[in-house]
Amino acid sequence: MPMPSGTGRVRVVVLGAHFGGLAVLHWLHRLVAKAVDVVVVAAKPYAVFKPDLVFSAYARPRFVGAARIDLSDVCRRLGVRLVVDYALAVEPDLRRVRLANRPPLPYDVLFLATGMDWAWELIPGLGPETGFLCEDYASRHVAARMAGWRGGRIALWAGPLVQGPASPPAPTACECPLVEWVLMAHGHLRSQGRRTATRFALVTPARALGEELGPRAQARVAAHLAGAGVQVVTGARVREVTADGVVFESADGRVRRMRPDLSVWMPPAAGSALARRSGLDDGWGWVPTDGHMRHVALPDLYAVGDINAVTVPKRGHTAMVQARVAVHHLARRLGRRVQAPPYRPSSLSLLHLGGGRALLDWTQGRQEVMWEGRGPHLLKRAFSWAYRRGGGGLPLMP
């Protein structure tokens, strides 16, 4: 049982304010608001609804502002204290978090939701300036490039996802945002009569594109990419990025160089440096937990979202589900009469296909449910609107 502070309320610290962290805040507010004092630590005063960053394919740089969520407003509504700072380390023996610019922050219960780290160093010459989709400023840059696009080759690159040998089988890379982006860009350029001036290529280390999808959805994605004339290169290992192009080794062992006019990356990703510095990880930066998202050796520390070793593939929906599991478990420990079943791994993907269509794919074990058309597109737009308006909370939380 977590120890309450002198006020009789449990001190809860949440590190990170994206899908997992925001969902934790909303569940804490719903279930145990009167029993806890909550502080959330975020590196920026806003969160970004990252699924909307693929709209950079439509060449509208100003869209990025609409993808931001004001954390001050969210925290005010939920009665949570916001600390904008960097977490340097967690010190579980002292039950506190060391921050870059403030005194250490004490806690009784800690939620880790800081996600994974971009591993630029895995590919020589690769860096944030090369053009990628995962941060708001980077997507604005890509959108600006598309606004002035006159034709040429666009290459989309999926960097590898590095997990330890003890982790569950995971996709080799995160490719779905690239699939969305290239199909949306294809439709956008075609609607303007500029598609024939552009060649697309999508390069991935995966042996088959769309490993994070079920088999039916994989087949549909492959068909859509073929119909759009996108060259797909699988089993590729990027060796380096130079001013003269990208050098990579193809599945047959040949070393090739591609000279795109625009590169769009999903960068290589690795486990959390914060978790490694703090000694909380499995040796690879991923936090090991039990079925309730609780650290295997530290009962008052929960890990939700991408930082958790069991999270494969890395999905916002998964982070929200894990947040529900973890906070319900804490609520039970605090004496609330709620059900707290353990986490059941599943994967939900909702991909824009361009032209007002989308593909929904849900898998759990060998079960797969797929739905394609305008309905999933409207569902995805509605989710985006409701999520941003609700500050990471929904009327019906997953």
**Band of the pLDDT at 61, cuts 50, 70, 90?**
confident
Q: What mean pLDDT do residues 105-116 have?
A: 98
Is 268 or 3 the better-scoring residue by pLDDT?
268
In the predicted model, what is the mean pLDDT of the chain?
94
- Count Cβ atoms below 10 Å from residue 208 Cβ, excluding itself: 14
Cα–Cα distances (Å) from 284 to 130, 160, 295, 323, in that order, read 26, 14, 15, 22
Instruction: Assign 7 a pLDDT band (cuts: 50, 70, 90).
Output: low
Q: How far is CA 222 from the centre of its chain?
A: 23
In this structure, are residues 319 and 292 in contact, taking their beta carbons and an 8 Å threshold?
no
- Determine contact, residues 70/45, Cβ cutoff 8 Å: yes
| Confidence band of 122 (pLDDT split at 50, 70, 90) | very high
The per-residue pLDDT for 172 is: 85
pLDDT tens sequence across 255-266: 999 999 999 999
Q: What is the full DSSP assignment across 143-161?
A: HHHHHT--SEEEEEEEPBB
Residue 62 has what pLDDT? Answer: 84
Q: Residue 166: pLDDT above 80?
A: no
Lowest mean pLDDT, pick from 19-33, 161-175, 255-269: 161-175
pLDDT, tens digit, 9 for 90 and up, residues 187-229: 999 998 888 899 999 999 999 999 999 999 999 999 999 999 9
Query: Domains of the chain (ranges plus CATH)?
Result: 10-117+271-345 (3.50.50.60), 118-269 (3.50.50.60)
pLDDT over 90 for what percent of the chain?
Answer: 84
Q: What is the pLDDT of residue 4?
A: 55
Tokens for 104, please give them: 């250490």
**Which of 6-10, 137-141, 374-378 bottoms out in mean pLDDT, i.e. has the lowest?**
6-10
What is the band of 131 on the pLDDT scale with cuts at 50, 70, 90? confident
Choose among 303, 313, 369: nearest CA to 345. Answer: 313
